[in-house]
Chain A
Amino acid sequence: MDNKQQIDQLFKSVVENYELKPSADVWNRIEEDLNQNKTTHTSATIVRYAAILLVIIGVTFFALPVSKNTPISLQGNAIDQNQPISALEPISTASALIVSDNNTVVAQIPETVNRTIVDDVLESNLNTFASNVIPFHNQESDFIFMPQETENEALADANRDIIDRIYNNDQSIDVFGFGELTSYEDDEEAQLIQPDKAITYKDYSMKGVYIGASGSYNQTSIIEYGNTFKGARPIQPSLKFGSSKGLMLGYNFNNKFGIEAEFIYNAIQGQNYVMSEDEQIVEKSLSLNYDLIPVVAKIKVGRISNITNMPVVLNYTAGIQYGMLREARLPQDKRYEETTEELFTDQDLSVVLGLEYDIFVQENLMLTLGTRGAISTDISTHSGPLSYYNKRNFVFGLRAGLSYAFN
């Protein structure tokens, strides 16, 4: 054997399988480190949920096609000749628009369309217009008011041209309102046409009662103040999911505010956890079954969907929930097998916060999709062992419902 190998071998043979128990403190430090990681992990989960939620909100808001000021259809529909031009939907850049009397068209003509016509019109003497009409011009578009009767031939031609375009459904010209139009073709008599006003969310009053059914799927947990997870019998919480069904009764004061009560039957809540019992690692599930009555106020923000041409409403909900404990079970835990119900209060209140979409699928039928969270008052009776700490139900989940409105 080589000399060098000998010294190496000496150390290797003696030291390689050397064992020594480290001080007991090392495990505590490892556990501490792992708990720290756990905390980060929990907050990471919360952040993830929040992010998913934001994405859902964002996607829904931006991906849903929303109706803009749609051009008025010129097809058909005679109106009363003497009916004045109705008020125009305000155009963001056109607050100075003034509506004319009869025989007038108000149109938005983008620069891409026959600019000459517009320039001609604008160059015309203001006096050629009706005295209570002014042309309006901004950077993007020209809004012109076109009296049919005018002594200015150029303007009359321009008007005819634009009116023809409108008749021919030139999509580049947005018409915001008019009294009557005369087709100059064929020297026909003037046709009276009623504009279809673009529908906006404001046009829906929503006022009235609605009823519906809902279901939810929640992650449930029990938050214990102080610390539960240290000590001789380490308990580790794990995820528990529960579902519930309910009946809703709501009232909308208008399209901005509403109130809603719900009866939720047999909602399953509680907490799963892992612990060591009789030196075994066991999974346990604490089930708390509740009947719940949440009463929430809703603040509504709505728009009109281009797909359904009906409102989509975002509801910010907040309220109070009354909970009645139907049953408390902890079948696998020998400590509490008999006494589980005594550990929890019969009634509690929760604060409820949520974000929900009402999607109208028919005029009186709406689909609700959203998310809700609730945190309760102390549900511990503080009787029995390990009852020193306050306990609160924390429930967070997705909710869907279908309701019918009477209005």
Chain B
Amino acid sequence: MKRINPAATYTDEQLIRQSVKGERVAQKFLYERFAAKMFGVCLRYAPDYQIAEDILQEGFVKAFKNLDRFRFEGSFEGWLRKIMVNTAIEVHRRKNLLYPIVDVDSHDVELFDENALEKLAADDLLQMIASLSPGYRTVFSLYAIEGFSHKEIAEQLNISEGTSKSQLARARYILIEMVEQRTGIKRKASGQ
């Protein structure tokens, strides 16, 4: 007999409305529906799985507590993602992990060979992000993946725009080195 996943029979909205009432089963269904995606978000801001799970846990608790504020105007996934990112930022701030300003001349990052990049799996890239120091990791993820501006990052992390820029540059530089190392492929010669 074919077994239907019960959670799948509810729409997001149904689950959200039940969850607002504090119904645990609905909350669990909702969690299960979005946990993997949100864990992906958290991983970009954490050095390891454990801290990513901490962020995930804190984010979901926060989301459930504030669920009544979700007005069904945008996508729920987007709302949840925002909470996760904010939680990651909070955790980051709380730990005060921003490294001191490292001013790096803006290196001209050179193009990779497209083939080299295809060899890299998401796991590898996440591993690279994870290995960055907290400040670099957070700035890079916010800027490159979430699409924050330097001004927004500066406000969120309580740093100057200049710091945000230099940390981003430094992060990129380190990531490129890592990609090179992993793939064994050097950058193409600079076009200069």
Contacts and interface: CB of A to CB of B under 8 A. Distances in A.
Given A7-B172, A236-B23, A15 B129 contact: yes
Interface of B: 6, 18, 21-28, 31-32, 35-37, 39-40, 43-44, 49, 52-53, 56-57, 60-61, 64-65, 108-112, 117, 120-122, 125-126, 129, 140, 143-145, 172, 175-176, 179
Given A8-B143, A17-B40, A22-B56, A234 B35 contact: no
Interface of A is mostly: helix
Contacts of A153: none
Given A6-B109, A234-B25, A21 B122 contact: no
Interface stretch (A96-104, A276-284, A311-319, A345-353): A276-284
A19 B37 contact: yes
A22 B35 contact: yes
Nearest to A229: B24
B22 A38 contact: yes
Given A12-B144, A280-B6, A3 B108 contact: yes
A18 B26 CA distance: 25
A236 B24 contact: yes
A18 B28 contact: no
Contacts of A279: 6
A44 interface: no
A33 B57 CA distance: 9
Contacts of A3: 108-111
Interface of A: 3-4, 6-8, 10-12, 14-23, 25-27, 29-31, 33-34, 37-38, 234, 236, 274-276, 279-281
Given A15-B44, A33-B61, A38-B22, 14 more contacts: A6-B109, A11-B129, A11-B145, A17-B37, A18-B43, A19-B40, A22-B49, A23-B53, A26-B57, A31-B28, A33-B57, A276-B25, A281-B18, A281-B25
Contact of A7 (B37, B40, B175): B175
B125 A15 contact: yes
B83 to A, nearest CB: 13
A44 B27 CA distance: 22
